Amino acid sequence: MTKSLLIAPQWIGDAVMTQPLMAQLQARGERLTVAALPWVAPIYEAMPECEQVLVLPFKRGSPELLNRWRWARSIKGQFDRAYVCPNTFKSALLALWAGIAVRVGYVGEMRRCLLTQSLPNPNQHERTSMVAFYTALALDGPLHPVALGVDVVGMQTPAQPRLHVSSEATQSALQAHGLKAQGFIVLAPGAEYGAAKRWPAPYAAQLCAALQTPVVLLGSDKDRGIAQEILGAVRELTASGVTPSVGRGHVVDLTGRTTLLEAMAIIASARGVVSNDSGLMHVAASLGTPQVALFGSSSPLHTPPLSDQAQVLWLKTQGDYGGNLDCAPCFKRTCPLGHFRCMNDLSVKRVLPLVQVWDAPAAQWGGR
């Protein structure tokens, strides 16, 4: 049986989107080990296809070539094939230094000579579905270019990524944070890539204040700031009488207070999730939790939440939106034009009706 090493992407959402690739590789008889950075590793622990996770002891963005060489030599001779998901030179070096005979990946950062099978990278105007982008690495023989749209040459439309969180992990996470299954709605207000992906904090606060069901804010330490903005705005709204008071504790801030596994378990136990285009959006989709995904500077054609339970709001495709959004998607970290219409014009009135279906009293809400 072929022993394969998958070198994982560094982003949570991208890691989720490699699950269909993992499933295809396992289905053809490959035994899969994943090398992943610490903040991504829990995603692969939630993939049944993964037999082992090797946590990479490197910092994001740091070359650390000597440490990489030492790590690669420590696994030399253990694997027959490597799938290099990141487009970086240093990621391909790991596979080469580990002495892995077959090294598959996309061309990038002058690394063609480091790969034995290479696939041309589509340019920024030919952005395909990221699930298709990764799943293309499973093609046998000489690799073919990624087709435009969601299909890959010789393959069907990508499958929906699926993760599994154990009942034990779920119960532990709920108990640790004083939550009851199906008793809350999750709001993930952050976006690792940049501010251009984030729905404005005042809008998020208005949404929270309009709901009777408790709202749990989830995210990393980097999202603590926007979470505090939301909490402050909710307090102002309720104190001013603009919205009905729903009592203290209605919004629970867990940003930076959970592990990724705990966040996954909480999402799996929620009535629904509201998020930007972010890693937690893809986590919610992979767990089959009902969700509303808000897009602005990025495109749901490129990184959609692949779930039958997902609803996408993107003003670019809203027929009743009369504004000019020729600039979208720009895929920038901050709005290059300064007006940020793609999110500023995505009003609470558009989002609230989709979320209110989860907001009935517990005794009346049937769950999923």
Averaged confidence pLDDT in the chain = 89
| In contact, 189 and 276? CB cutoff 8 Å | yes
Whether residues 100 and 178 share a domain: the answer is: no
- What is the average per-residue pLDDT within 196-209? 94
Q: Answer for the pair 311, 329: CB distance below 8 angstroms, yes or no.
A: no
Check if the beta carbon of residue 29 is closer than 8 Å to that of residue 49: no
200 CB contacts (<8 Å, ≥6 apart)?
343, 344
How much is the pLDDT for 108? 82
Instruction: Name residue, tokens 């749990």.
Output: 216
Residues 318 and 202 placed together within one structural domain of the fold: yes
Phi, psi of 322 (to 5 degrees): -100, 0
* 174 lies in the same domain as 281: yes
**147 part of a folded domain:** no
How big is the chain by its Cα radius of gyration, in Å? Answer: 21
Q: Which strands form 251-253's sheet, in the order they lie side by side?
A: 251-253, 215-217, 185-188, 273-276, 291-295, 310-314
* Cα-to-chain-centroid distance, residue 218: 13
My answer on whether 263 and 309 are in the same domain is yes
Boundary of a domain, candidates 138, 154, 188? 138
Please state, in angstroms and rounded to a whole number, the distance separating the CA atoms of residues 132 and 18. Answer: 9
User: Does 133 share its domain with 22?
Assistant: yes
- Domain extent, residue 59, equals 3-138
Same domain, 183 and 83: no
343 with 203, same domain? Answer: yes
Task: Answer positive or negative: Cα dihedral of 98, 100, 106, 111.
Answer: positive
Residue spans of alpha helices (H) in 249-300: 260-268, 279-286
The answer to whether residues 189 and 125 belong to one domain is no
pLDDT at 140: 59
- Position 143 confidence tier, pLDDT thresholds 50, 70, 90: very low
Residues 30 and 177 in one domain: no
Evaluate the CA torsion angle 46, 49, 52, 54 in order and state its sign. Answer: negative
Question: Number of folded domains in the chain?
Answer: 2
> pLDDT tens digit string along 96-124?
999 999 999 999 888 999 999 999 887 66
Task: Express each pLDDT in 212-236 by its tens digit.
Answer: 999 999 999 999 999 999 999 998 8
* Domain membership flag for residue 158: no
Residues 171, 132 share a domain: no
Write the CATH number for 27. 3.40.50.2000
Report yes or no on 39 lying in a domain. Answer: yes
Other CB atoms within a 10 A radius of the CB of residue 316 amount to: 16
DSSP letter for 114, please: G
* Range with the poorest average pLDDT among 54-63, 73-82, 308-317, 327-336: 54-63
**What's this model's pTM, rounded to 2 decimal places?**
0.90
Q: Judge contact between 264 and 46, C-beta under 8 A.
A: yes
Q: Which stretch of 22-31, 244-253, 271-280 has the lowest confidence by average pLDDT?
A: 244-253
Structure tokens at 168: 């034990």
Q: Is the domain of 14 the same as that of 133?
A: yes
Q: What residues does 102 pair with on adjacent strands?
A: 81
Distance spanning both ends of the chain, measured CA to CA: 40
Q: What is the percentage of the chain residues whose pLDDT exceeds 90?
A: 74
Find the largest Cα–Cα distance for the chain: 67
| Pair 109, 205 in one domain | no
